[in-house]
Amino acid sequence: MLVLHQYHLSPYNEKLQRMLNFKGIAFTEQYWQLGERKQVAALNPIGKLPALEHDGRVICDSTDVAHYLEQAFPEPPLIPADPALRGQVHVLEDWADESLYFYEMHLRFTTPGNRERNIPRMVEHESAFLRWLLPKVVPGGIAKITASQGIGRKSPEQLMIDVTRHIEAVNDLLSEAQWLVGNRISLADLAVYGMFDALRDADMAAAQIARYSAVVAWMERVEQTTSERASPANATSKEDDS
């Protein structure tokens, strides 16, 4: 059995859950609390999730997990065999993971209105003490990360210019295509979808996404193509965790 270890509200969860669904692989989900960092460090010394447990092995980092899954469960493929397409998938996946991630994190958890709605969702499974403490410290902690990364130092207006440009770029890629790379769904779609879905938790980004019809239609297409497959283990675990 495969176990997907996750933190609540992580955009990387969507990427891997949908990959597992698309490949028809049964899995259970284990959600960890932010107060369980020691136990998470035992799984992944870097302390980050998601991580995948399979046959006694733990694979960390969503990109490594995706490549592991593709090798262990090649059908149906999500990473193209064609080198030019494979290169495009990697570049888009890395853009999602290493650039879009900071925009969605900053907008969801540090900006007024959005942080008040999203932080309680992030901490709802923590102890009573952490449910009290984390809303006071998480926005500042995330703002520090995004300030050192650069995005957090931009004005709200400049941030939204960036985000809109990113959404428009995806809309352009989809202007004559159903999927981001080639003519079938790939890991690039799942990685970018995960970040756009998280961006929809921030009001101003959600409003921008709604303006781009090719993006809206593509997000629905990704959802339909990678929706949950019937799997008793999965269903039980989802109920337990939500």
Ligand X SMILES: N[C@@H](CCC(=O)N[C@@H](CS)C(=O)NCC(=O)O)C(=O)O
41 or 217: CB nearest ligand X: 41
Alpha-helical regions (H) of 52-155? 62-72, 83-95, 101-110, 114-123, 128-149
- 176 DSSP assignment: T
What is the spatial distance between Cα 82 and Cα 89, in angstroms, rounded to a whole number?
Answer: 11
- 229 DSSP assignment: P
Residues in contact with ligand X, counted by CB under 6 A, come to a total of 11
Contact pattern from residue 11 through residue 50 relative to ligand X, giving x for each residue in contact according to CB under 6 A and a dash for the rest: -x----------------------------------xxxx
Closest CA to 16 of 37, 32, 35, 2: 2
Task: Compute the least distance from the CB of residue 10 to ligand X, in Å.
Answer: 4
Closest CA to 113 of 139, 150, 84: 139
Task: Compute the least distance from the CB of residue 224 to ligand X, in Å.
Answer: 25
Contact flag: residue 61 with ligand X (CB under 6 A):
yes
Task: Compute the least distance from the CB of residue 38 to ligand X, in Å.
Answer: 12
Task: Compute the least distance from the CB of residue 102 to ligand X, in Å.
Answer: 10
Binding footprint of ligand X on the chain (CB under 6 A) = 7, 10, 12, 47-50, 61-63, 97
